[in-house]
Structure 1
Amino acid sequence: MTSWQGWQQFVTTPPPAPPVPGDPARSEEERLAYHSAFVTVRTPAIDTLTTSVRTLMILGRHQTVTARPSLIVTGPAAAGKTTALLHVGRACHLAHTHSHPPPAGSLHAPVPVAYVLVPPAASAKALATEFARYLGIPLTTRMTQAAITDAVCHTYNQAGVRLVLIDEIHRLNPRTTTGAETADLLKDLTERIRATFVYAGIDVTGTALFSGDRGAQLAARASLVECGAFPARLGKHEPFRELVTGVEAALDLRAHRPGTLARHASYLHQRTAGRIGSLTRLIRQAAITSILDGTERITKTSLDAVRLDHLAETHHRPTTRHSRTTPH
C-alpha cells in the first residue's frame, strides 16, 4: 500500500463481509480466506479518528500561511493503530472519489490519500524518496534531497492529495542529526503540501519525538488519538467483553455456539492484555484451526492451544496443570 497502485487496489477491493443469515454457505476455502483477512471491528479510536480527520481537513482546507493542524495516533503495539489509520484512509478516499469523480474519458483517477512508511533510521532523503515512490515520481541518483522534496511537493499538490498518512513515526528520533534533519523535512512537507497529515506510532508521547524545540513544534500542531488497550471494566460497562462479542458475531463457523467467547472474556483479557490486535489474531487462528480440523467451533481449550505473539505471551500465559514444569 506504499505505492499508488497498491493503495488503489486496497481501497477498491471490497472489505471482508461477515456471513449473512439466509445466504448460501461459503466453501471451506472461502471461509479460510475470510478468517485470514477478517473484518475491521469498529472501535472508539476509529470513530474518534474518523471525526477528527474530517474536522481537521475542513479546518485546514483554506489555510495557506502556516502548516495545517495534524493528528497523531499513538498507543502500545498491537492496539489497532495501523488498522484505524487504514480504515480512515479508505473512507476518505472513497468519499472523495464519490463526490469528485474524474471526467468521462479521463485517464487520471483522483489521488486524495497518500500512505507512507517511515523507514528505519530514515534520513531526510530516504523519507523524501518514499514520498516520491508512492506516486511514482521519477528520480535519479544525482538528485539532491532538496530537488526530490520540490518534486514531491509539486506533484502531490498537482495530484490533489488531501490526506497524508505516515505510519511508524516512532522510528524518527530528532535527537540524532539524521533524525533532526528528517523531522525538519516533515515540517517542510506539512507547510508546502496542501493536505492534512496524520501520523501513527508506538507510544509516541514516550519517545524523543516530542522532545526539544522540534518536538515542541510538533506537539503544538498535533492532536493525539489514543489507541489503548481495552479495559475489562469501565464503570458499569465492560468494554473488552463488548469487543469480544463484536468479534465473535463476525465468525463464520458451522458449529460455533454464540456467546462462548463472551463467557471467556476475562480469560481472553488475560491472554491479550486487552489489545485488539492480539485478540483478533488469537480468535482468527483458533477459527482457522477449527475449520482445518473439522470441529468448526472455538472453545477455551482450542484458544489455549494457540501460541500468540511474543508480546501477549510474555504479558500473561495462564498456568495450567499441563504447562507446569516438573523438577528433574
Structure 2
Amino acid sequence: MEIGTKEGWREYVDAIYDRPVPVTVDELREMSFGERAMYKDARARYAQAGAFVKTPQYNTVRRATRERITANKFRQVGKLGVILSGAPGQGKTTTLLQIGKEHELRRRQTSHPAAAKGNIPVVYVAVPAQCTAKALMGEFARFLGLPAHPRRTYGELMDTVANALRRCSTELILIDDVHHLDLRYRQNIEASDMLKQLSERCGGTFVYAGIDVEETGLLSGTREGQIRKRFEVHTAEPYRILDDEERSDWGDLLLAIEDSLCLLKQQKGAILAAALDLHRLSNGEIGVLKDMLQIAAIRAIEDGVEELDIGEFPRKVAQLQKRAAAQLVG
C-alpha cells in the first residue's frame, strides 16, 4: 500500500481489520489446516494493523491538531501547526497516520464538505532524503495525481499544488520524516521555506513528524521565532515508571497490547506480572515493546500454547544483565 498517493491513502483509510471471532482451543483443533492458517493470519493482521493503541501522547497530539484545524479556518495568514519530534521507535509515524485517518473518517461520517466527492481532506507526504524544494513539491504533486513535468519551474509547481489543495478542500497536511530537512544544507532551507509558503497559500493545517526535529535547525536560528510561535511542539518520549501515574499508563499500554494479540489461552492481565521486565527490555519504547510481544504471540500460536511465556521476559533481562556485567569486566 503506497500511502504517498491519494489512491494509496484512500485504501489505508478504508481498510478495516475486524477482530477475529474468539474460538476455543478445541474449535481451533477441529479446523482444517487452511482454516487454521487463515485464522492465524487474521490474528496477526489485527495485532499489526487493526488494534491501534490510543496512548496519552496520541490523545494530546490529536487534540492539538483538531484545535488548530478549527482555528485555521478563520485565519488568513500565520497558520498554526503541530510538530511531533522524538527518537526512533516512539510511534511518531503511527500517530501521524492515525490522526489523519480519524480526521478523514470523521469528515465522511458527518458528511462534511471537505469529504465530498472529488475532495481530498487529508494529504500525506514523506520528505525524501537530500530534498530540494522542487523535489518536495513533486511529492505533493505525486500524492494529488498532478502532472509534474521535469521542465516545470518551481513557481509553476507551487501554483499547481496550492490551487489543487484549495480546490480539493484539503484541511490536514501530514509531513513525515521532516528531519530530512536538515537546515545545515542550503537545498533543505529552500524546501523548508517552500512548506511555509505553501502553508500560507493552501489554507490547510500542517503537522510535522520527524526524528529529533530540534537538532535539524528547523527550530533554531532565524526560523525559531516563527516556527515556535505558530507550531506546538510535542516530544515523543519512552514510557517512564517512576511514579504511580506513569506505572498506571505503562500498565494500560501492556493491557491494550495483550488484548490485541488475540491469544486463546491468555488470561487477561497476566502480562502485568512482567511489567517491570518488559520495561527493562524495551526501555519504555512502544515500538520495541510491540515488536517483542507480537513476535512472542506468533511463537505462542505456532507452538500451540496460545499464551505468552511470562517467564521468558525475566530470563531475557537476566541475560542482558549478565552480558552487561561481562562487558564491564572486559
The TM-score range, normalised by the shorter chain, is: 0.7 to 0.9
User: Residue 151 and residue 304 in structure 1: after superposition, are their counterparts in 2 closer, same or farther (change >3 A)?
Assistant: farther
Give the superposition deviation at 1:97: 1.9
Q: Which residue of 2 aligns with 1:92?
A: 103
User: Residue 107 and residue 172 in structure 1: after superposition, are their counterparts in 2 closer, same or farther (change >3 A)?
Assistant: closer
Q: Which residue of 2 aligns with 1:124?
A: 133
Q: Which residue of 2 aligns with 1:203?
A: 212
1:63 aligns with 2:75: yes
Aligned with 1:82 (options 70, 90, 93): 93
Q: Which residue of 2 aligns with 1:319?
A: 321
Aligned with 1:282 (options 278, 292, 297): 292
Contact 2:179–2:210 under 8 Å retained in 1: yes
TM-score (norm 2): 0.86
Counterpart amino acid of 1:277? Answer: G
Query: 1:8-44: per-residue Cα shift (whole Å, max 9, x none)?
Result: 011111145376699x978233223333435111111
1:32 aligns with 2:44: yes
Query: 1:219-249: per-residue Cα shift (whole Å, max 9, x none)?
Result: 2211012321111233455122221122112
- Tell me how far apart the structure 1 counterparts of residues 87 and 318 of structure 2 sit (CA, whole Å): 16
User: Residue 39 and residue 125 in structure 1: after superposition, are their counterparts in 2 closer, same or farther (change >3 A)?
Assistant: same
Aligned residues: 313
Compare 154-163 and 241-250 and name the one that shifted more.
Answer: 241-250
Q: Which residue of 2 aligns with 1:299?
A: 309
Q: Which residue of 2 aligns with 1:174?
A: 183
Alignment of 1:144-183 (within 5 A): 144-183=153-192
| Secondary structure of 2:124's aligned partner | strand
Counterpart amino acid of 2:109? Answer: H
User: Residue 134 and residue 303 in structure 1: after superposition, are their counterparts in 2 closer, same or farther (change >3 A)?
Assistant: farther
Contact 1:121–1:179 under 8 Å retained in 2: yes
- Tell me how far apart the structure 1 counterparts of residues 98 and 314 of structure 2 sit (CA, whole Å): 30
TM-score (norm 1): 0.86
Aligned with 2:55 (options 24, 43, 54): 43
1:271 aligns with 2:273: no
| Secondary structure of 1:209's aligned partner | coil
User: Residue 301 and residue 78 in structure 1: after superposition, are their counterparts in 2 closer, same or farther (change >3 A)?
Assistant: same
Compare 288-297 and 25-34 and name the one that shifted more.
Answer: 25-34
Contact 1:157–1:194 under 8 Å retained in 2: yes
Query: 1:240-293: per-residue Cα shift (whole Å, max 9, x none)?
Result: 222112211222112223333211111110111101111111111111121112
Give the superposition deviation at 1:53: 1.2
Counterpart amino acid of 1:90? Answer: K
Counterpart amino acid of 1:85? Answer: L
Q: Which has the higher helix share?
A: 2
Counterpart amino acid of 2:15? Answer: T
1:52 aligns with 2:64: yes
Aligned with 2:193 (options 177, 184, 197): 184
Segments of structure 1 that go 5 or more residues without pairing to the other structure are 307-314
Give the superposition deviation at 1:55: 0.9
User: Residue 100 and residue 72 in structure 1: after superposition, are their counterparts in 2 closer, same or farther (change >3 A)?
Assistant: same
Q: Which residue of 2 aligns with 1:139?
A: 148
Contact 1:116–1:166 under 8 Å retained in 2: yes
Q: Which residue of 1 aligns with 2:84?
A: 73
Query: 1:190-235: per-residue Cα shift (whole Å, max 9, x none)?
Result: 1111101000111222332212212332222110123211112334
Aligned with 2:4 (options 2, 5, 9): 2
Q: Which residue of 1 aligns with 2:224?
A: 215
| Secondary structure of 1:14's aligned partner | coil
Counterpart amino acid of 1:191? Answer: E
Contact 2:172–2:205 under 8 Å retained in 1: yes
Counterpart amino acid of 2:137? Answer: A
- Tell me how far apart the structure 2 counterparts of residues 112 and 236 of structure 1 sit (CA, whole Å): 37
Contact 1:121–1:171 under 8 Å retained in 2: yes
